[in-house]
Amino acid sequence: MNVPTRVLLADDHPALRVGLCVLLDREPDIQVTGEADAGSTAFSMLQTGQFDVAVLDCQLPELDGVAVAQQVHRQSLPVRVVALSAYDDDRYLAGMQEAGAIGYLLKNEAPTCIVDAVRAAVRGESLWTPEQQSRIQHWQSEVARLWDSLTAREREVLQLVTEGLSNKEIAQALTVTVRTADFHVSNILRKLNAVSRVEAAVWAREHAGT
């Protein structure tokens, strides 16, 4: 008798988890053996090595799905990841692909697609479509273009902005005038099309060095 594929469901919406459990558990070759409502919980469970496939929501609290998939990839954990999201977002697409997920599904897709994805994961198949691949490449090119538009000094300033330093503190850290720090920050916001320091800092945390 074949052993069912052991699945971890990670989503912070209880109703969705219940629906997915019912959907997957009715398949004789699939069994949901774990559930998590936060990324940190999901990763701790995956470290036990007791799962074959993880169906990860991209927007999990504490540690998002992309970060969980990245940790799984870095530690070479013996589990295949299927990304599940309510958002058709290029950033999540790229992040999940880079983290080794076998595919990216939307929550409004046909339920059979999720079942098929779990089986494809077990077989080691990729579910990335040509359209998704094209979008990811375009997104990565745009990120690289914006990063390359920053001078070495602006990247240094952006790192300090990300660390939460004010313009005055940046000036002190770099031994420049506050006016010069203001100038660099203004240039960074303009080049990144960011409306605030917070937005620029978020961009840097997500994309710097990509």
Of 63, 95, 129, which closes a domain? 129
Mean pLDDT, residues 165-172: 94
Contact 9, 115 (CB under 8 A): no
Residue 134 lies in a domain: no
- What is the SS3 assignment for 204? helix
Per the model's pLDDT, the better-predicted residue between 129 and 1 turns out to be 129
Per DSSP, the three-state class of 134 is helix
Please report whether residue 39 resides in a domain.
yes
* Unique residue bearing structure tokens 């710097």: 208
Across the range 114-141, mean pLDDT stands at 93
| Per-residue confidence (pLDDT) for residue 210, from 0 to 100 | 47
55 & 118 share domain: yes
Which of the pair, 10 or 207, is modelled with greater confidence?
Answer: 10
Dist. CA 124–CA 147, nearest whole Å: 34
Range of the domain at 174: 150-205
- Helices 65-74 and 90-98 cross at an angle (nearest 10°) of 20
Q: Which residues in 70-96 are b (16+ Cβ under 10 Å) and which e?
A: bbbeeeebebbbbbbbeeebbebbbbb
CA distance to 29, 50, 63, 71, 197, per residue, from 102 (Å): 19, 19, 20, 15, 35
pLDDT confidence bin for 91, thresholds 50/70/90: confident
Is 104 domain-assigned?
A: yes
Q: What is the pLDDT of residues 149-162, one digit of tens each?
A: 999 999 999 999 99
Name the average pLDDT for the chain: 91
C-alpha span between 73 and 81 (Å, rounded): 9
Closest Cα partner for 115 from 184, 20, 207, 42? 20
- Answer whether residue 138 is part of any domain: no
Residue 183 pLDDT exceeds 80: yes
CA within 13 Å, CB half, 68: 34
Number of domains in the chain: 2
Question: Count of residues for the chain?
Answer: 210
Mean pLDDT of 141-152: 91
Any domain includes 109: yes
Is the domain of 57 the same as that of 155? no
